[in-house]
Structure 1
Amino acid sequence: MIGRSSSRPPTVLFTGFPGFLGSALLREVLERGDGPVACLIQPQYRDLAEKRAREIVSEAEPDSGDEAAVHLYEGDITEPDLGLGSAPGDSDLLAGVEEVYHLAAVYDLSVDADLAAAVNVRGTEHVLDAAERLGVDRLHYVSTCYVSGRYDGTFTADHLREGQSFNNHYEATKYRAEVAVRERMADGLPATIYRPAIAVGDSRTGETDKLDGPYNLLRLLLAQPARLAFAFSIPGAAETELNVVPRDYVVDAVAELSGRPDTVGETYQLCDPDPPTVPEFVAALSDAADRRTVTVPTTKRIAKAAARLLSAASVEVEAATIDYFDHPTRYRCANATAALAETGIEVPAFESYVDRLVAFARENPDLGDEPMT
Structure 2
Amino acid sequence: MHVFLTGATGLVGGALAGALLDAGHRVTALVRGVGRDVLDMDGRNRIGEIGVLQGDVALPGFGLVETPPEDIDLLVHCAATVDFAAAEAVHEAVNVGGTAHAIALAQGWGCPLLHVSTAYVCGRADGDIAEVAANPAADFTNGYEASKARAEALVDTARADGLAAAIARPAIIVGRLSDGAIARIDGFHHLFRLFGSPLLGAVPAAPDAAFAIVPICHVTSGLMAMAQDIAAFDGRHVHLVGAAPFAMADMLRIVSGYPGTVPATMIAPEQYHASERDRRIAMVHRRIGPQFFDYFVRSPRFSGDTLRDIADIAPPSVDEAAFRRMIDHCIDAGFLDWRS
TM range (shorter): 0.7 to 0.9
Q: How does 1:237-256 map to 2 (within 5 A)?
A: 237-256=206-225
| Separation of aligned partners in 2, 1:290 and 1:204 | 25
Distance 1:29 1:254 in 2: 10
Verify: 1:234 aligned to 2:210, yes or no: no
Residue of structure 2 in register with 1:122 after alignment: 97
C-alpha distance in 2, partners of 1:31/1:117? 34
2:175 to 201, 204, 210: 201
Equivalent residue for 1:110?
85
**1:20-51 Cα shifts (integer Å, max 9, x gaps):** 1111111111122222x2110111xx212378
Once the two structures are superposed, residues 144-203 of structure 1 have per-residue CA deviations (whole angstroms, 9 ceiling, x without a partner) of 011111124422112422842011000000110011111111111111211011111222
CA apart distance, 1:95: 2.6
Identity rate of aligned residues, in percent?
A: 25
Gaps of 5+ in 2: none
Q: Residues of 2 paired with 1:278 and 1:54: CA distance?
A: 32
1:321 aligned counterpart, secondary structure: helix
In 1, Cα distance between equivalents of 2:140 and 2:279: 21
Q: Contact 2:30 / 2:53 at 8 angstroms: preserved in 1? A: yes
Q: Does 1:81 align with 2:61?
A: yes
CA distance in 2, matches of 1:308, 1:104: 38
The unaligned stretches of length 5 or more in structure 1 are: 1-9, 59-68, 368-373
Q: Pick from 276, 301, 306 the counterpart of residue 330 of structure 1.
A: 301
Show the counterpart of 1:5: none
- 1:132 matches 2:132: no
The reply to whether residue 176 of structure 1 matches residue 150 of structure 2 is yes
> Structure 1's 326 and 296: CA in aligned 2 closer, same or farther, altered over 3 A?
closer
- Evaluate the alpha carbon distance shift between residue 336 and residue 239 of structure 1 in structure 2; reply closer, same or farther with a 3 A threshold: same
Q: Which amino acid aligns with 1:11?
A: H
SS in 2 for 1:151: coil
Corresponding residue for residue 37 of structure 2: 49
Contact 2:204 2:269 (C-alpha < 8 Å) held by counterparts: yes
Alignment counterpart, residue 258 of structure 1, candidates 208, 215, 227: 227
Cα separation, 1, equivalents of 2:279 and 2:309: 43
Provide the C-alpha distance between the structure 2 equivalents of 1:172 and 1:151, rounded to a whole number of angstroms.
Answer: 13
Distance 1:338 1:142 in 2: 19
Q: 1:24 aligns with which of 15, 31, 39?
A: 15
**Residue type at the aligned position of 1:30:** L
| Offset of residue 207 of structure 1 | 3.0
**Preserved CA contact (<8 Å) 1:289 1:358:** no
1:166 is matched with 140
Shift of 1:15: 0.2
User: Could you tell me the TM-score, scaled by structure 1's length?
Assistant: 0.78
Deviation of 1:115 after TM superposition, in Å, equals 0.7
- For residues 141 and 180 of structure 1, what CA distance do their matches in structure 2 show? 11
Contact 1:232 1:297 in 2 (8 A): yes
Find the residue that maps to 1:192 and give its secondary structure.
strand
Contact 2:244 2:317 in 1 (8 A): no
Alpha carbon RMSD of aligned pairs, Å?
Answer: 3.3
Contact 1:80 1:126 in 2 (8 A): yes
Task: Work out whether residues 75 and 82 of structure 1, in 8 Å CA contact, stay in contact via their aligned partners in 2.
Answer: yes
Corresponding residue to 2:120 among 140, 146, 167: 146
Letter aligned with residue 37 of structure 2: A
Number of corresponding residues:
330
Letter paired with 2:223: V
Q: Partner amino acid for 2:192? A: L
Out of 203-212 and 298-307, give the one that drifted further.
298-307
One-letter code aligned to 2:253: A
The residue matched to 2:176 in structure 1 has which SS?
coil
Tell me, in whole angstroms, the C-alpha distance in 1 between the residues paired with 2:87 and 2:232. Answer: 38
Match of 1:155 in 2: 129
Moved more, 24-33 or 276-285: 276-285
For residue 248 of structure 1, what is the amino acid of its counterpart? C
Per-residue CA deviation, residues 267-299 of structure 1 (Å, 9 max, x unaligned), is: 211112322232233323434678585724254
Whole-angstrom distance in 1 between the partners of 2:281 and 2:319: 27
**1:14 aligned partner, one-letter code:** L
Equivalent-residue separation in structure 2 for 1:126 and 1:333 (angstroms) = 29
